[in-house]
Structure 1
């Protein structure tokens, strides 16, 4: 039986894999600042998450080059917290750690904090507003980027005794920097099967399943022109309801000419137009 995801969807991003050069430093950030638990650890790999789910895999690659400035890849991994109080606790952890926010925004559908991990990977920590409060017109959501009152957010924190993120915390979405928005739309909408939820001119696209505001964000703001390379994003895992949904996604992606790299009955690995690896797997 499909277990409901915190985004309310049966198709969603459940886990992100990153290549890092300093495993200890990056692991400490996601444990102490984001609040994730270490679920498994070897000398060259760590799995982090909560009691309910694994959310992040860190793979040590000490020789990995920095991501080139023109390469496509990760804009941020967005961790969804179950309440405003839990997000306030996360802000308290950020301040206590000495890490600096790179942004704090009210998106009308959510409230979000932005920062970077020790190797420069973008991180968003956010909470959703109730879905009935989301502004929508003709089936499209109307997100915006407005200032967030961080003092008020901090005042509403739960004051949790430890630094752990709540067990309901999940990867809510992933936001990618791509080289061509039309090619990416064909892959993630026509191929993977997400719906367009909002379009910002010809520079950003937000796609999702089951009426969520977005499971994948795509942008060309920094004018990336080369395929993904260097350290950082390795793989994104997308869960679909069952093996029939895996088969349907495989057929759609084959129909648009996407390359399937690994294949089994209940999952497959495919590369998007920028070489970003997407694993489609059955719940």
Structure 2
């Protein structure tokens, strides 16, 4: 049998995929309900201390851990900025926006970054979560955009109104035209979310 550890190389082997995120909270019931609703998901396991939540073939994508001694989130502390979930089309992103809105879940920031069109939300604990659609057909095209003068001038993006985006889609405008980021010149400040 070959020794699979004989040639370790100089680079750490990359994982196959990102499996899940775990959030701790003292606001357990609200957090579990939010994440199930937000992701259109269900619990594969849930009791009063732990919930495993998934929306696809993975046994869990988000876990919520009930820790009653957890203090409130402090936005100025170091840590994870946000989690992001992707959609395959602008229409799916728009549909999910409307569905969340019907449940009282509204975005705190809507921005076309250039490589993505993104909606940002906050969960009951104040954790940020992004839903996005890729604006380019390939990773290579998105990566090339990072090296343009337009991106150097404005690495943040252009804010948009999701209701206007839906109006444009419903009028028959091509989704690729809608996803093309307008060039507004320099922008250096992120929205406060």
- Range 49-58 or range 111-120, more displaced: 49-58
| Aligned residue pair count | 153
Residue 146 (structure 1) aligned with residue 158 (structure 2): yes
Q: Does 1:41 align with 2:7?
A: no
Q: CA deviation at 1:78?
A: 0.9
Contact in 2 for aligned 1:32/1:93 (Cα 8 Å): no
Q: Structure 1-normalised TM-score?
A: 0.47
In structure 2, distance between residues paired with 1:100 and 1:49: 21
Secondary structure of the 1:24 match is helix
Unaligned 5+ segments in structure 2 are 1-13, 171-187
Alignment counterpart, residue 36 of structure 2, candidates 15, 23, 31: 31
Q: Give the C-alpha shift of residue 10 in structure 1.
A: 6.2
Alpha carbons of structure 1 residues 57 and 133: separation in structure 2 relative to 1, 3 Å: same
* Distance change (3 Å), C-alpha of 1:33 and 1:153: farther
Counterpart of 1:66 in structure 2 is 72
Q: CA deviation at 1:12?
A: 4.5
Q: CA, structure 1 residues 47+133, in 2 after alignment: closer, same or farther (shift >3 Å)? A: same
1:14 counterpart (7, 19, 22): 19
Partner residue in 2 for 1:137: 147
Whose relative contact order is higher, 1 or 2, with alpha carbons under 8 Å and at least 6 apart?
1
- Matched with 2:177 is none
Of 73, 81, 99, the match for 2:87: 81
1: distance between equivalents of 2:30 and 2:67? 13
SS of alignment partner, residue 74 of structure 1: coil
Quote the residue 1:123 is aligned against: 129
**Bigger radius of gyration among the two:** 2
* Structure 2 equivalent of residue 260 of structure 1: none
CA–CA distance in 1 between the matches of 2:47 and 2:40? 20
TM, length-normalised to structure 2:
0.66
Distance in 1 separating the partners of 2:83 and 2:124: 14
SS in 2 for 1:89: helix
Cα displacement (A) at 1:27: 1.2
Residue 46 of structure 1: CA displacement? 0.7
1:1-283 pair list within 5 angstroms: 12-53=17-58, 54-68=60-74, 70-129=76-135, 130-131=137-138, 133-134=141-142, 135-137=145-147, 143-155=155-167, 156=169
5+ residue gaps, structure 1, are 1-8, 158-200, 205-220, 222-283
Of Structure 1 and Structure 2, the greater strand share is in: 1
Q: Which runs of structure 1 show a deviation greater than 4 angstroms over 4 or more consecutive aligned residues?
A: 9-12
Q: State the distance in 1 between where 2:146 and 2:79 align.
A: 29
CA contact (8 A) 1:111 1:148 kept: no
Distance 1:21-1:154 versus aligned 2 partners, 3 A rule: farther
Give SS of 2:61's match.
strand
Q: Aligned in 2, Cα 1:147/1:40: closer, same or farther, shift over 3 Å?
A: same
Q: CA deviation at 1:144?
A: 3.6
CA RMSD of aligned residues (A): 3.2
